[in-house]
Structure 1
Amino acid sequence: MTTLQTHQAVELWSVTRRYGTGEHSVTALDDVSVKFAPASFTAVMGPSGSGKSTLLHCAAGLDRATGGKVLIDGVDLTPLSEKALTRLRRDRVGFVFQSFNLVAALSAEQNVELPLRLAGRRAAPGQVAAVLAEVGLADRARHRPGELSGGQQQRVAIARALVTGPAVLFADEPTGALDNASSREVLRLLRTAVDRHAQTVVMVTHDPLAAAHADRVLFLADGRIVDELREPRGAEQIAARMAHLETGAEQ
């Protein structure tokens, strides 16, 4: 008998994040509530300083919210100790960053296996090879990062993020350092992870072409979610919404 998943992959309830104290404090997130459903792909956009990265960091448990609460896979992060929070991130969260963050001395397959080793787990037979094949790098398993192109390194990073079967994969500008062809391949892999493997992806991006791969686009301004597009009709529609936001921010 299959148990149905009733909770969201990630939930933010009235999340606020302030930095500093007193008159010098800055509110980076201001009473944000949002849910990310299982098997969904959400892009997060907004002008510079709008709170995009802070939203991702709080949602991923990399940064503690000042107020409100964050749940990942139904688990409230608020009462967790740093040790418990680290364990939850390791087991239930995948990360892909603009800078690939691979270990230079390790091969592609060793980089992919690293999260399992850090968790004290052993990869199942063929598990790492299967994930590398999924990202098109079956023949690059023994290559170190320095022997791979930027696009290939990012695909290793995606494989590393997916190998633990996380509840959610957070991607922060994953195509920011890549050429157009490599960017398209990375975005195709993220889309495939959602469609074929029911992965949840939350991606911060400034690029309307990247955001067009998502099911939903959230727009932030001044630490708040101010607009949303569901099933965007293409990069032009997203760019128009962004232009409207940025015009408003300048006034």
Structure 2
Amino acid sequence: MQGVELTSVTKQYAHGVTALDDVTIAFRTGTFTAVMGPSGSGKSTLLQCAAGLDRPTSGQVTVDGRDLSGLSDKQLTLLRRDRIGFVFQAFNLLPSLTATQNVGLPLRLAGRRPDPELVRQSLAAVGLAGRAGHRPAEMSGGQQQRVAIARALVTRPAVLFADEPTGALDANTSREVLQLLRALVDRHAQTIVMVTHDPVAASYADRVVFLADGRVYGELADPTAELVATRMLQLEAASC
């Protein structure tokens, strides 16, 4: 079963800039995929189109069995709210709220009263059951990112999109967050698509998809950091 599918997706911007050029790719349910490529390769645009944050110029995007092209802006907003989770490099936590309150915030913004048990389970899933009453300033960077992940998981999303989720963390903390993402896939069959520039981060994924000049330039299954780094050097040399 395909969690996310892009079929012949092209995205063009003003002045003739083509960010994605006839991209066809699928991200299967319950898998962890890293997306990599040189600067300007189309990684962020791919994530934005796949997540319904931006509409492609042409082609089809399907998320959780729904064709996004036929959805209105309001329907897209509801789909993102209910079925898609987001984690970014910046934690984007509200400093005045506790971990519990930050995790429950998406539900409140949707006009729903957060289920305390659901919020507790989300924090427990990221190993922070004992930090529920702490505010961001009382937590480490890694713990704050874990809260951000719990917040993304509280709606039980079909897919979790992560854009450089360890970019602001040190090596040890990054490893903890990546191990958590890996466990979410292995234990809970969560679908994760992660954009990263880091070969070590990519090595936690089931496969790595490489982009260059808005096109898919192959993929690597069961990646190691060394193999990913070598492939990236080849791509960067070819794009020079």
Counterpart amino acid of residue 151 in structure 2: R
Any unmatched runs of 5+ in structure 2? Answer: none
Query: Hey, what does 2:102 align to over in structure 1?
Result: 111
* Match runs of 1:16-27 below 5 Å: 16-20=10-14, 24-27=15-18
Query: Hey, what does 2:164 align to over in structure 1?
Result: 173
Equivalent of residue 242 in structure 1, options 221, 232, 238: 232
Counterpart amino acid of residue 239 in structure 2: A
Cα deviation for residue 238 of structure 1 reads 0.7
Taking the aligned partners of 2:28 and 2:88, their CA distance within structure 1 comes to: 22
Any unmatched runs of 5+ in structure 1? Answer: 1-6
Identity among equivalent pairs (%): 70
* Match runs of 1:67-78 below 5 Å: 67-78=58-69
Q: Deviation digits for residues 53-91 of structure 1, max 9, x if unmatched?
A: 000000000111111011110101112111110000000
Q: Say how many residue pairs are matched.
A: 240
Query: Hey, what does 1:142 align to over in structure 2?
Result: 133
TM-score (structure 2 length as normaliser): 0.97
- Deviates most, 210-219 or 125-134: 125-134
Secondary structure at the aligned position of 1:113 is classed as helix
Q: Is residue 2:82 matched to residue 1:91? A: yes
Query: Hey, what does 1:10 align to over in structure 2?
Result: 4
Taking the aligned partners of 1:208 and 1:148, their CA distance within structure 2 comes to: 27
Query: Hey, what does 1:128 align to over in structure 2?
Result: 119
Counterpart amino acid of residue 48 in structure 2: H
Query: Hey, what does 1:4 align to over in structure 2?
Result: none
Q: Is residue 2:214 matched to residue 1:220? A: no
Cα deviation for residue 125 of structure 1 reads 4.4
Taking the aligned partners of 1:118 and 1:195, their CA distance within structure 2 comes to: 30
Taking the aligned partners of 1:249 and 1:154, their CA distance within structure 2 comes to: 33
Q: Deviation digits for residues 173-215 of structure 1, max 9, x if unmatched?
A: 0000001111011101100110000000000000000000000
Taking the aligned partners of 1:175 and 1:148, their CA distance within structure 2 comes to: 16
- Deviates most, 162-171 or 138-147: 138-147
Equivalent of residue 192 in structure 1, options 183, 186, 198: 183
